[in-house]
A = this chain, B = another copy of it.
Amino acid sequence: MTLNPAQQAEIDALRDQSAPTRRATVPALEEMLYRALPVLDHGFVRVIDYMGDDAAVVQAARVSYGRGTRKVSEDAGLIRYLMRHRHSTPFEMCEIKYHVKLPIFVARQWIRHRTANVNEISARYSILDREFYLPAPDNLAAQSAVNRQGRGDLLEGEDAARVLDLLRSDAMQTYDHYALMLNENEDGTPVDPGRQGLARELARMNLTLNTYTQWYWKTDLHNLLGFLSLRADAHAQYEIRVYAEAMLESVKAWVPATYAAFCDFRLGAVTFSAPMLALVRRMIAGETVEQAGSGLSKREWAELMAALSA
């Protein structure tokens, strides 16, 4: 993660401020507020603002005038019920806003979640920083032999070194040429007064997809959980999963009852199809079942067995 002193000073100034509010307030999330949680080599996630808490979910489900006098345990029970039965609208009553720094190829996956508000830094206006993602050796994986979109074994030795070298040198070269084509100093004057710089909106096309970008990303708790259930999942690409994991920490601090219900009923849950369920019933009855004749394809059978043995 790279924060320059001016950025760190801005963050510190925000963390030093305090004002009284009548709004629902969550001390554990206040503690985390504005701080950059490091992700990958130069990225981060920062919680910038939030609205609501576990009680706000309950309040909306009951359409009540106040925060009620029920016990925390009753609220948690209702939250578990809402989560289990996919009553999504009460969770939409909480909102959170993040500032995220992330590689462009991760941003392209992320933006597919449409039910969020986004303000990304624009390379039509601004000149991007010279920062790009290079995988750590632990994440430099070969293509999976069995899964068209997955990773297999780690690259090692010379193979790994060569790949890292290509990624690094290409990113540096394309960035340097980007800067050369722009021909702009920070104050807008030309580096080389003898030639014209290319328009920013064109020069950016020379950057590679591991260049870092930034955005403000704001969403409600229901849609955040939908994002996290897909992106904190083992099938998600590592480079977006680490962002999801950092965000999960903020959810845990923010809405602990919702977080616990989410772990039980979404992250750790498994959905069985009608044919799978019929097989499970037979297995519980003590019957021995096999893929052949089960009505499941081999792939479905493998998924069922994995779920039952995990």
Contact = CB atoms under 8 A, between A and B. Distances in A.
14 contacts: A61-B119, A63-B119, A89-B112, A95-B95, A140-B202, A141-B198, A153-B196, A159-B195, A167-B181, A201-B237, A207-B208, A269-B271, A272-B272, A286-B286
Interface residues of A, number: 140
A16 to B, nearest CB: 8
Instruction: Classify the secondary structure of A's interface with B.
Output: mixed
A265 interface: yes
B280 A284 contact: yes
B273 A265 contact: yes
Given A13-B66, A216-B60, A20 B22 contact: no
Given A51-B51, A216-B93, A269 B269 contact: no
Interface in A108-160: 108, 111-112, 114-115, 117-122, 124-125, 133, 135, 139-144, 148-153, 155, 158-159
Contacts of A68: 10
B264 A268 contact: no
Interface in A38-78: 49-52, 56, 59-61, 63-68, 77
Contacts of A103: 205
Contacts of A174: 170, 174, 208
Given A19-B20, A141-B198, A141-B199, 9 more contacts: A9-B66, A14-B22, A21-B23, A60-B119, A60-B216, A84-B273, A142-B198, A143-B198, A159-B195
A79 to B, nearest CB: 12
A300 interface: yes
Interface in A1-26: 3, 6-7, 9-11, 13-15, 17-25
